Amino acid sequence: MEAPHSPAAEAEAAATTATATARFTLHAPEQTQELGRALAKLLRPGDLVLMTGELGAGKTTMTRGLGEGLGVRGAVTSPTFVIARVHPSLTGGPALVHVDAYRLGGGLDEMEDLDLDVSLPDSVVVVEWGEGKVEELSEDRLHVVIHRVVGSTDDERRVVTLSGYGARWADADLAGLGLGLDLG
């Protein structure tokens, strides 16, 4: 006999299992930025985006594309030394809150001073190096993992994996983001 599923168990399973995924191979930083612009069309206030990848993988480049696609004010640059930047919308859309958690060692407790939970409902919050630190902010989140060729090489290739978690992303066409992009 199968055990009954509780709402709490179903919510926990949804929070740890991707409801939508897509993978793209990119050959230049411009393509990473272009994918960010395309992804911005799917984003809305309340979305939490976690960016994961080694140093130089393209997390900030992708976020720059998100900012362009969202139509926000200010140059999107790495917030490593200020930890967080808010880019207000120029188009009436959501602001972009760009966080770099690289220097933050702890989890959500250490990040509470940033008031991300206050910003989240009205903004798109992007957290670089946020894996294992901010997932508790929302059951619905998008995880962007960028892998690059490492070592002494001039290969600009990146493999970007988008994984949506929670009901928010269940019907999202993440794979369709590549349509119309110059990914050749």
Residue 105 has pLDDT above 70, yes or no: no
Residue 127 sits at the vertex; the CA angle it makes with 23 and 47, to the nearest 5 degrees, is 75
Interatomic CA distance for residues 103 and 23, integer angstroms: 28
Mean pLDDT computed over 72-78: 86
Mean pLDDT computed over 57-64: 94
Residues pairing with 92 in the sheet: none
Mean pLDDT computed over 35-40: 96
CA nearest 124: which of 91, 90, 87?
A: 87
Mean pLDDT for the chain overall: 82
Q: What is the pLDDT of residue 119?
A: 66
Q: Which helix (H) or strand (E) holds 66?
A: helix 59-70
Q: Which helix (H) or strand (E) holds 29?
A: helix 29-40
Q: How many CB atoms lie under 10 A from the CB of residue 3?
A: 6
Q: What is the pLDDT of residue 183?
A: 62
Interatomic CA distance for residues 43 and 41, integer angstroms: 6
Among 43-52, 76-85, 139-148, 169-178, name the one with the lowest average pLDDT.
76-85
pLDDT in tens, 153-166: 677 889 999 999 99
Mean pLDDT computed over 64-84: 84
Q: What is the pLDDT of residue 8?
A: 43
Q: Which helix (H) or strand (E) holds 124?
A: strand 123-128
**β pairing state of 84-87 and 48-52:** unpaired
Residue 14 has pLDDT above 70, yes or no: no
Residue 38 has pLDDT above 60, yes or no: yes
Residue 28 has pLDDT above 80, yes or no: yes
pLDDT in tens, 128-153: 988 887 788 888 999 999 998 776 66
Out of 50-59, 149-158, 172-181, the most confident range is: 50-59
Q: Is the pTM of this model over 0.85?
A: no
Q: What is the pLDDT of residue 6?
A: 44
